[in-house]
Amino acid sequence: MFEVRIHSRGGQGGVTAARLLAMATLHDGKYATACPFYSAERRGEPIVSFVRIDDTPIKVYSQIRQPDMVVVLDTSVMDVVDVLHGLKKGGRIFINSAGKREFAGFECRNVDLTGIALREKLVVSGSPILNTAVLGALAKMGIVTADSAKKAIREMFSDERNVNAADAAYKEMSV
Amino acid sequence: MKKIATGNKAVAEAVKQAVPTVVAAYPITPQTEIVEQIAEFVTSGQMSARYIAVESEHSAMAACIGASITGVRTFTATSSHGLLYMHEMTNWAAGARLPIVMANVNRSLGPGWNIWAEHTDALQERDTGWLQVYVSTVQEAYDATLMAFRIAEHNDVLLPVMVNLDGFLLSHIMQPVDTVELGDFIPAIHLPYAIDPKHPAGYGTLTGPDQQFKFRWDIERSMRDSVKVIEETEKDFAKRFGRKYDFTEDYRCEDADVIIIALGTLGKEAEVAVDLLRNEGIKAGSMRIRWLRPFPKLNLKGKEVVVIDRDYSFGFGGIVANEIKAKTGIRLYSVIAGIGGQEVTYDDIAGFVRTRRMGEEFWFGVNAHV
């Protein structure tokens, strides 16, 4: 089982990102469970959502304590939340950031998703939408296939700019 | 078709496919998404049902009763305090022999104000004459809702059915759900005593001491008859759509020395605990109770049994544990865990089995045996 924790702020699409990742996983022929943290969600508040991915149906409902991967959609969350909490030794990190970041003992990648969203004019109520672009980054990191990621995005959004954003994130991530 | 959906959305999708004529509901967390989705289906023309936005849950059930007695298919959904507010009317629905289907998203009761999973809400309804099924996955929430209509409306049953799913743990979680082409799986509803203005009759009139017990016995007779209807329906569902269900879901029980029994998602997580315990050499199994009413026949002879209750009857004990004790006469270890959404992991469940003390009750988190 591969467990992912997504950190974002309410309104940035962290929960939708979890949903999209689960949908893409399904297209890869795997099983997934996605859930928001069970509490009141307010716009702008740091929120967490989770995705479990496995080759067999998932029977676990308790919360993820030791994720294999952490995704940070908004670096400002890192000032108030320990985003690395419980991350498995050697675990993977993806951060929405233009600058490269290092965390000892973990493998960290970054792409400027916000820049991509602004370029693609994916902005809702003043917030750049990151949940589709992040799928491209996750595809580059091998969590899902790029084809399944795009298929999932197209199932949820008719606006092709969402797919373009994912493509851009895929291309811009340095390996 | 396979898609990703929350438990709430899966229930709404099943209701859409069952084509009810009337849906009357009042929103309450964590159920709201079900009725929101149905309202959207109605507004967008995907459902032809009459959606009645009522001012309370008591009225929601009353509206369903009024609609159902005209012989049409009805649905509502609620949770926790909403269910308890309906209580007078849930008794009426069963007594009037109306095959209403309701989704109840299991949630704790206040105070303290708690919106998380617990089964005490539905278990307080267990003596009303409603059939009750508890599900453990989003897929099962969808499947059980479809089957609920066929079972409720069967001529040998004609009793309401409550589909229970854990608040947040199932209502808000997203999992794959394989929707079906329903075909004629749910036959057209035919209520033998529906109101017919051409043939006026009295309904709910004064019933004397010489009659009332006959109506009560008739409910019980139908409850007993519902066993074979449930079996037939689940068998036909498996034949048509490939997914098998039973009164309990048994996992590695055949050669087990100790069996874990729980309702809902805890019963599914228990399967992971079983695998853990088997690796340690403890021959464990899981028997997740799906149908609580009618209560299943449980074969637990010669087994040690650990029951996890996400509920409680004050001054008495874990409700499911005591129902099992009453029906089977076995001695068991009663664990009270998961109240108000208390986190219970498969590690915790394995721990309950490792440290079991038969005949005792244990409150998880309180660390007290009684």
Per-residue pLDDT of chain B (370 residues; tens, 9 = 90+): 789 999 999 999 999 999 999 999 999 999 999 999 999 999 999 999 999 999 999 999 999 999 999 999 999 999 999 999 999 999 999 999 999 999 999 999 999 999 999 999 999 999 999 999 999 999 999 999 999 999 999 999 999 999 999 999 999 999 999 999 999 999 999 999 999 999 999 888 899 999 999 999 999 999 999 999 999 999 999 999 999 999 999 999 999 999 999 999 999 999 999 999 999 999 999 999 999 999 999 999 999 999 999 999 999 999 999 999 999 999 999 999 999 999 999 999 999 999 999 999 999 999 777 7
CATH number, residue A94: 3.40.920.10
In the chain, the amino acid numbered B106 is N
Nearest CB to A38; choose among B2, B116, B344 = B116
The model's pLDDT over B274-290, given as tens digits with 9 standing for 90+, comes to 999 999 999 999 999 99
The length of chain B is 370
CB contact under 8 A, B268 and A19: no
A18 contacts on B by Cβ (under 8 Å): 174
Q: How far is B6 from chain A (nearest CA, A)?
A: 9
Chain A residues with CB inside 8 Å of B346's CB?
60, 62
User: Which of B2, B4, B268 has its CB closest to that of A61?
Assistant: B268
Residues in chain A: 175
- pLDDT score recorded for residue B237: 98
Domains of chain B: 2-241 (3.40.50.970), 248-369 (3.40.50.920)
Cβ contacts of A19 on chain B, cutoff 8 Å: 4, 174
User: Is A169 in contact with A114 (CB distance < 8 Å)?
Assistant: no
Q: What confidence score (pLDDT) does residue A39 get?
A: 58
Q: Kindly report the number of other CB atoms within 10 A of residue A2's CB atom.
A: 16
The domain of A63 spans: 2-172
Do the Cβ atoms of B172 and A60 come within 8 Å? no
d(CA B229, CA A96): 55
Domains: count for chain A: 1
Percent of chain B predicted with pLDDT > 90: 97
| End-to-end C-alpha distance for chain A, whole angstroms | 24
Is B341 in the A-facing interface, judged by CB distances under 8 Å? yes
Q: Which of residues 249-308 of B touch A (CB under 8 A)?
A: 265-266, 268-269, 271-272
Among B3, B4, B346, the strongest candidate for a mutation testing the A interface, having the largest count of A CBs within 10 A, is B4
Which chain A residues are Cβ-neighbours of B174 within 8 angstroms?
Answer: 18-19, 22, 32-35
Residue A149 distance to chain B (closest CA, Å): 14
- Would you call B40 an interface residue with chain A, using a CB distance cutoff of 8 Å? no
> Which B-chain residues 158-177 have CB contacts (< 8 A) with chain A?
166, 168-169, 172-176
| Residue A5 in tokens | 């924790």
Q: Please give the ipTM for the structure prediction.
A: 0.91
Interchain CB distance below 8 Å, A61 and B116: no
Return the H-helix or E-strand segment holding A137: helix A133-140
Query: Which chain A residues are closer than 8 Å to B271 by Cβ?
Result: 59
Q: How confident is the model at residue A40 (pLDDT cuts 50, 70, 90)?
A: low
- For residue range B135-184, what is the model confidence (pLDDT) as tens digits? 999 999 999 999 999 999 999 999 999 999 999 999 999 999 999 999 99
Task: Tell me whether residues B343 and A38 touch, CB distance under 8 A.
Answer: no
- Token pair listed for B326: 């009453």
Specify the pLDDT at position A41.
61
- Which two tokens mark B253? 């029980």
Enumerate the residues of chain B whose CB falls inside 8 A of the CB of residue A155.
3
Unique residue bearing structure tokens 């294999």: A68
Determine the distance in angstroms separating the CA of A20 from the nearest CA of chain B, rounded to an integer: 9
Nearest to A26 among B2, B169, B343 (CB): B2
pLDDT-derived band at A127, boundaries 50, 70, 90: confident
Q: φ, ψ for residue A54 (rounded to 5)? A: -155, 165
**B358 CB within 8 Å of a chain A CB:** no
Average pLDDT, chain A: 93
Interface probe for A, chosen from B175, B177, B179, B260 (most Cβ of A below 10 Å), is B175
CB contact under 8 A, A63 and B3: no
Contact A38 B341 (CB under 8 A): yes
**How would you write chain B as a 3-class SS string?**
CEEEEEHHHHHHHHHHHHCCCEEEECCCCCCHHHHHHHHHHHHCCCCCCEEEECCCHHHHHHHHHHHHCCCCCEEEEECHHHHHHCHHHHHHHHHCCCCCEEEEEECCCCCCCCCCCCCHHHHCCCCCCCEEEECCCHHHHHHHHHHHHHHHHCCCCCCCEEEEEECCCCCCCEEEEECCCCCCCCCCCCCCCCCCCCCCCCCCCCCCCCCHHHHHHHHHHHHHHHHHHHHHHHHHHHHHHCCCCCCEEEECCCCCCEEEEECHHHHHHHHHHHHHHHHCCCCEEEEEECEEECCCCCCCCCCEEEEEECCCECCCECHHHHHHHHHHCCCEEEEECCHHHCCCCHHHHHHHHHCCCCCCEEECCCCEEC
State the smallest CA–CA distance between residue A31 and chain B in angstroms: 7
3-state DSSP percent of chain A in helix, strand and coil, to 5: 35, 25, 45
Measured from the Cβ of residue B278, the count of other Cβ atoms closer than 10 Å reads 14
Which of A18, A35, A60 is facing B272, going by the closest CB pair? A60
pLDDT of A38 above 60: no
State how beta strands A31-36 and A46-54 pair.
Answer: antiparallel
Nearest alpha carbon to residue B302 among B281, B285, B326: B285
Nearest CA distance, A97 vs chain B (angstrom): 28
* Structural tokens at position B39: 């309202």
Contact B172 A33 (CB under 8 A): no
- Higher-scoring residue by pLDDT: B47, A14: B47
Contact B174/A59, CB-based, under 8 Å?
Answer: no
- List chain B residues with CB under 8 Å of A58: 175
**Cβ contacts (< 8 Å) between B4 and chain A: which residues?**
19, 22-23, 26, 32, 34
- Residue B175's beta-bridge partner residues? B5
Report the gap between the CA of B155 and the closest CA in chain A (Å).
Answer: 36
Pair of tokens at residue B68: 């159902």
Among B168, B271, B344, the residue with its CB nearest the CB of A62 is B344
Q: What is the pLDDT of residues A41-99, one digit of tens each?
A: 677 788 899 999 999 999 999 989 999 999 999 999 999 999 999 999 999 999 999 99
Cβ–Cβ contacts within 10 Å for residue B211, how many? 10
Residue A11, pLDDT score? 80
Chain B partners within 8 Å of A57 (Cβ): 137
